[in-house]
Amino acid sequence: MASNIHRIEVRYLSDPREKTRTGRIRSLGFPVDVLHLIDVYTIATTERDFSKDELLDIGGQLINPVIQEFTVDQATEATFDYAIEIGFLPGVTDNAGRTAQQTIEDYFGFLLSDNEAVFSSRLYLVSGAFSESALHEFIATLANPLINRVHVKSRTEYGDCGMDPVAPFVSLHERPMADIVDLDIDDHDLVRLGKEGIPDPVTKERRGPLALDLSQLHAIRDYFRSHGRKPTDIEIESLAQTWSEHCKHTIFASAMDDDLPDGLYKTCIQAATNAIRKERGSDDNCIAVFTDNSGAIVFDENYLVTHKVETHNSPSALDPFGGALTGIVGVNRDTIGFGLGAKPCINVYGYCTGDPKTSPSLYRSKNRKNPILPPRRIFEGVIHGVGVGGNCSGIPTPQGWCYFHDRYIGKPLVFAGTVGVMPRLFAGKMLHEKCARSGDYIVMVGGRVGKDGIHGATFSSEALDPASPVTAVQIGDPITQKKMSDAIVKEARDEDLYSSITDNGAGGLSCSVAEMARECNGCHVLLDRVPLKYPGMAPWEIWISESQERMTLAVPCEKLDEFLELMSRRDVEATVIGDFTNNGRCVVEFHGEVIMNVTLDFLHNGLPKKHLFTSRVCVTYPNPEISCPDRLDDILIEMLARKNICSKEFISIQYDHTVQGGHVLGPVQGRGRVQADATLTKVVPGSQKGVGLSQALFPEYTEIDPYRMAIAGIDTAIRGLVAMGIGLETIALLDNFCWCSSDDPERLWQLKQAAFGCYDGATAFMTPFISGKDSMFNDFSGYDNENNPVTISVPPTLLISSIGIHRDVTKAVSIDAKCEGDLIYLIGPTGDALGGSEYYSHLGFRGNTVPGLNPDQARKRYDRMTSAIEKELVASAYPINRGGLLIACAKVSIAGDIGMEVFIPDDVRPDYYLFAETPGRFLVTINPDNRSVFEEIFGNDARCIGQVRGRRLRVEGESLLLDLPLSEIADAYREPFRGY
């Protein structure tokens, strides 16, 4: 290992962040007086040592002398009580270290060798009266033991010498060969093999879950028996990846009960899309559905847009920042990997977590070992991860949401999605079509392969339990990916240098290569050619590693030189790792020896079929029996401050939502800055058209009525787009099922009902599903303080995302009330069902009836809305959702920074009328001059309920119900997350 180690410590002369940072940590309850932050670069070399002068030159390159200073091999001097240094564990992606290394290499004009590197770490010098336990808790807020190494010294220990130099090189001693695995063992041992993994032949340690059940292991055993040999470890690992729930979606694909022999996906999701496309005929706006990495619809005659939403739940529970970052840069690759490569142009996000103000004591292991991360840590970590991913990649992130529920404490749900744009035709080629051909080279492009994320695909198919593998954690490197993405979608694609491309995501090469091999019917991989982050990995690890920032391409022989040369000029690593064949087999060689040789047919179709059975859930939840309060002032203030209703603007402004220059209707709207549920972005400069995006979910409804839950999600996601002026005929949907305990027949019954809702909702609005993903085991099992086993399952959650095309963005409508004297309309009928509503929840009830929707009426209403906006009759439009009419009035009013006077009918129960979440409704304001034309369009479906006026929100029914100054409701809306 490195024999010469030097430390360069960089500090600000006066750190502008110090006040905010110290204040923040104090607000978490730590007795911090001052917190200095020092950036440390550790330079470790073997072949050549740097002289003192050279090290001073290096230091000069790593700072701006106007604001920073540095020391070389000398401890930073400061007044403090504890020094805490936090670096990365060996093998964890260290972006800052790598940048420093490139700068140094560039400066001296030579490259460091494989066993030399620059590592970054951060040194916190803290003053304050910390108890030992407080210090440990404090460190836990800075470092994650799964990815970070921590060294602590007291002031005395720090002395004059400071911290010790540490160079975290990876040292691996895996067997560099494939092992034979004996499946001729009894069923009990086979089950264990499936659950815990293949035992290492030397150490006997299990390698981590395969997530293969007994029938699947039998199928594998029988296949190899019939070929007269035993399988290798890489063959079994490869099959486990390809057959994982994550990749094959067995629960959606399997026959269910007696009525769904073809399974939920074909019967409910795909069938809805097929039916819609057939009925639309020549007006079909779908280009590619369910077949590729993303779904695609028509943008205009020249362009198409793609959309895909993924989840990254299990990794985010363990390392929220890394998990979420990997989630967003991963779904970006689903865009780059669509067709011949679409350009990512919009990111979206969604987070389901526990209440960040709570800190439940739960552990993954007995005896209070392996505590779960507190909800705030998860919440802030995932926010940061998606932010860094989007910001560093230059992709705007305008659209997203948060939803809090105490059943997400064990496992958060992290949704990340990306929209892409691509010309439909270029140089005579349809860019959404691709096909690897026999004889094409298999080329891996982008980052190198390490132990990151091994067993990611199988791991996310299993519930999170004490044995969750630590190598499931990955940290993305958005800049490496940005370089790769630019080189591919901005250059190589249009120079026609490859014939197919796909992303390396779950299952790594084992899935991407085998998937592309279907296009030409075979592949031959030389696994020892794959560039590694560090030596000593076993072949099965290289094959299934989920190291990030990689794409696999099929490059024709005659294009190879040009392709490799271009990648080299763009500083993007590209390596030929084999070729595509047509012999029907997936063959993998390692140093001249064939270690995998299975038919593609078995790999992709050998998975034994299942038949699932469901069992109806029969529960009733009592409706509240409380009378309506006389006045609703206090309740409105409390409702506005509810976590699922109040402002989370701090997230919207951390995310660059203006890059690429397409901002039209952003995440925050109006002078009064209210978060909108739908956004509008231009993606093709010079075009009048724009891409509208929205998302909706109603997890609180699922336990009561999963069918209506799905309908409400579809309706709300669509309605957000309609309110901006987007016509139904351009809208498409995406589904993300995040279920729990999906081996439980009752959960499967809920799933089936939700899937029926998806079919009915999509076909009613004629909005096809174009892409979807599921994550079926979002359960946490662990222990409480007293070692009692605890299982917490997420509420079955269905996220519906919508995408639609605005024909003329200059006519788009925002949510904020505009002018004094404008008329306020409620469009659509209000029902009396409040089951699952925020209001019931606020009162401590769930209720038994979820609001329903008449989709035929709704569809007519939405068409009228589109036409009213097209005629420019609407000044503001808000899709009424969580919290109902009153919350809508408050938000529209706050956004416009102008008051409202609202009158509701005498014959309704005011609180129910005002807080019902009946789908299908809009709150609209219009210029009074447009009154008659507007009313003519909507007839009695629109009811004038008041006027925009003054600086107060005032609601009257039979008597005065509410009268509050605008400033007070605005404060209530903004207060809960102040300080985040």
Q: Which of residues 551-570 bind other proteins (CB under 8 A)?
A: 569-570
Give the residue with the Cβ less far from other proteins, 217 or 664: 664
What b-and-e string marks burial along 398-414, b requiring 16 or more CB atoms within 10 Å of the CB? bbbbbbbbebbbbbbbb
Binding of other proteins by 754 (CB under 8 A):
no
User: What is the rounded CA–CA span in Å between residue 491 and residue 474?
Assistant: 28
* Residue 437 and residue 557 in contact, taking contact as beta carbons nearer than 8 Å: no
Binding of other proteins by 392 (CB under 8 A):
yes
Binding of other proteins by 26 (CB under 8 A):
no
- Pattern 779-818, other proteins, x by CB under 8 A: ------------------------------xx-xxx-x-x
Give least dist CB 183 to other proteins, A.
46
- Pattern 47-86, other proteins, x by CB under 8 A: --------------xxxxxxxx------------------
Give least dist CB 35 to other proteins, A.
12
Q: Interhelix angle for 884-896 vs 966-974, to 10°? A: 100
Give least dist CB 395 to other proteins, A.
8
Please give the residues from 318 up to 347 whose contact with other proteins meets the rule CB under 8 A: 343
Residue 677 to residues 637, 640, 719, 885, 888, Cα–Cα distance (Å): 21, 16, 10, 15, 12
* Choices 103-111, 450-458, 516-524, 854-862 (CB under 8 A): range interacting with other proteins: 103-111
Please give the residues from 880 up to 899 whose contact with other proteins meets the rule CB under 8 A: 896
Give least dist CB 686 to other proteins, A.
3
Give least dist CB 669 to other proteins, A.
8
User: What is the rounded CA–CA span in Å between residue 565 and residue 572?
Assistant: 10
Binding of other proteins by 95 (CB under 8 A):
yes
Give the residue with the Cβ less far from other proteins, 22 or 778: 22
* Choices 133-141, 145-153, 229-237, 478-486 (CB under 8 A): range interacting with other proteins: 478-486
Give the residue with the Cβ less far from other proteins, 368 or 689: 689
Three-class DSSP labels, 347-409: EEEEEEECCCCCCCCCEEECCCEEECCCHHHHHHHHHHHHHHHHHHHCCCCCEEEEEECHHHC
Please give the residues from 212 up to 271 whose contact with other proteins meets the rule CB under 8 A: none
Selected from 875, 892, 953, 962, the binder of other proteins by CB under 8 A is 875
Give least dist CB 1 to other proteins, A.
24
Selected from 73, 196, 284, 491, the binder of other proteins by CB under 8 A is 491
* Token pair recorded at residue 191: 């089950």
**Phi, psi dihedrals of residue 858, rounded to the nearest 5°:** -60, -40
- Pattern 422-461, other proteins, x by CB under 8 A: -x--x-----------------------------------
Give the residue with the Cβ less far from other proteins, 437 or 490: 490
* Choices 19-27, 163-171, 458-466, 858-866 (CB under 8 A): range interacting with other proteins: 19-27
Binding of other proteins by 660 (CB under 8 A):
yes
Q: Could you give the angle at the alpha carbon of 641 between the alpha carbons of 639 and 352, nearest 5°?
A: 100
Q: Residue 885: in which H helix or E strand, if any? A: helix 884-896
Give the residue with the Cβ less far from other proteins, 661 or 844: 661
Binding of other proteins by 486 (CB under 8 A):
yes
Give the residue with the Cβ less far from other proteins, 12 or 169: 12
Give least dist CB 662 to other proteins, A.
8
User: What is the rounded CA–CA span in Å between residue 642 and residue 915?
Assistant: 13
Give least dist CB 819 to other proteins, A.
6
Runs of H (alpha helix) within 422-534? 456-460, 478-487, 508-520
Selected from 12, 50, 169, 903, the binder of other proteins by CB under 8 A is 12
Selected from 128, 670, 761, 835, the binder of other proteins by CB under 8 A is 670
Binding of other proteins by 849 (CB under 8 A):
no
Runs of H (alpha helix) within 62-131? 95-108
Binding of other proteins by 592 (CB under 8 A):
no
Q: Residue 424 carries which DSSP code?
A: S
Strand bridging mode 942-948 / 399-404 = unpaired
Strand bridging mode 585-590 / 343-353 = unpaired
Instruction: Name 744's Cβ contacts closer than 8 Å, sequence gap at least 6.
Output: none
Instruction: Give the CA count within 13 Å in the CB-facing half-sphere of 150.
Output: 18
Strand bridging mode 363-365 / 429-430 = unpaired
User: What is the rounded CA–CA span in Å between residue 436 and residue 557?
Assistant: 12
Selected from 434, 657, 864, 891, the binder of other proteins by CB under 8 A is 657
User: What is the rounded CA–CA span in Å between residue 718 and residue 726?
Assistant: 9
Q: Residue 537 carries which DSSP code?
A: -
Please give the residues from 911 up to 930 whose contact with other proteins meets the rule CB under 8 A: 927
Give least dist CB 489 to other proteins, A.
7
Give least dist CB 653 to other proteins, A.
5
Quick one: residue 508, left, alpha or beta (phi over 0 = left, psi -120 to 50 = alpha)? Answer: left
* Choices 95-103, 134-142, 147-155, 320-328 (CB under 8 A): range interacting with other proteins: 95-103
Give least dist CB 387 to other proteins, A.
7
* Residue 169 and residue 534 in contact, taking contact as beta carbons nearer than 8 Å: yes
